[in-house]
A = this chain, B = another copy of it.
């Protein structure tokens, strides 16, 4: 099943995504069993981030080739950081590059696990059962700020820097898929989604040793490869079996770029 959040009549609503329509739901499918209350056409739907997480976890170095390329040490245990909800935006909404960004401005194509149950001191089996479904994230990053700032506050969390979507797919073997990054239709990266140092279940087990994970929490899994993006580009992240997350890139203050 594919679950999304769409804007309908000015309201954010959950929906179940079909071939040509998105059936609108009375509530969240993560914690309840909502009823169908209407529908919108899929081809004109306004896609929102498929969930607004209570806590937004993100893994940094997690793909061996990315770690090697960065000259970093291979992590000896799972460790996540945080991103911020203000930065979330939906499928087809613009990534807005702030006017004063300098240097490399990059897309990072990532698998996202969506937590469906409360987890604490979880086993690996409990962690696997607690994943509600999978979506796609683009961890847009301004590298000069990333290197010069003490935290990732603006380098990775400026408004619109975290496209997520288009929907949550509940029926997919996410780690057996392929992640592909395209800019203006040209492939810029492609790698096995599951080729990770520590997989999502390893991370959920480790986090849950100290932290209560809650329904709706998301865990972004890092990327093997990245590429530069510019205002005027359209960037797509595809994960086979899940879908395609597509966003145009705009320049702040220039709504026609």
Question: Using a CB–CB distance below 8 Å, which chain A residues touch chain B?
Answer: 54-55, 57, 60, 75, 79-82, 84-87, 98, 120, 149-151, 153-154, 157-159, 207, 209-214
Q: Which residues of B contact A85 (CB under 8 A)?
A: 54-55
In the bound complex, how far is the Cα of B82 from the Cα of A84, in angstroms? 8
User: Contact partner of A79 among B149, B158, B207, B212, CB < 8 A?
Assistant: B149
CB of A207, distance to nearest CB on chain B (Å): 7
User: Contact partner of A150 among B81, B149, B210, CB < 8 A?
Assistant: B81
CB of A222, distance to nearest CB on chain B (Å): 12
CB of A246, distance to nearest CB on chain B (Å): 23
- Do A159 and B212 touch (CB < 8 A)? yes
Residue in A85, A98, A120, A210 whose Cβ sees the most chain B Cβ within 10 Å:
A210
Q: Which residues of B contact A212 (CB under 8 A)?
A: 86, 159
Q: Which residue of B lies closest to A155 (CB)?
A: B210
CB of A79, distance to nearest CB on chain B (Å): 5
Excluding A157-B210, A159-B210, A159-B212, 20 further A-B contacts by CB distance (< 8 Å) are: A54-B85, A54-B86, A60-B150, A79-B153, A80-B153, A82-B82, A82-B151, A82-B153, A82-B157, A86-B211, A86-B213, A86-B214, A87-B211, A98-B210, A120-B159, A153-B210, A154-B209, A154-B211, A157-B211, A159-B211
Main secondary structure of the interface of A (DSSP, over half): loop
In the bound complex, how far is the Cα of B158 from the Cα of A209, in angstroms? 9
Residue in A80, A82, A213 whose Cβ sees the most chain B Cβ within 10 Å:
A82
In the bound complex, how far is the Cα of B162 from the Cα of A54, in angstroms? 15
In the bound complex, how far is the Cα of B211 from the Cα of A86, in angstroms? 7
In the bound complex, how far is the Cα of B210 from the Cα of A149, in angstroms? 14
Q: Which residues of B contact A120 (CB under 8 A)?
A: 159
Q: Which residue of B lies closest to A53 (CB)?
A: B85
In the bound complex, how far is the Cα of B52 from the Cα of A85, in angstroms? 13
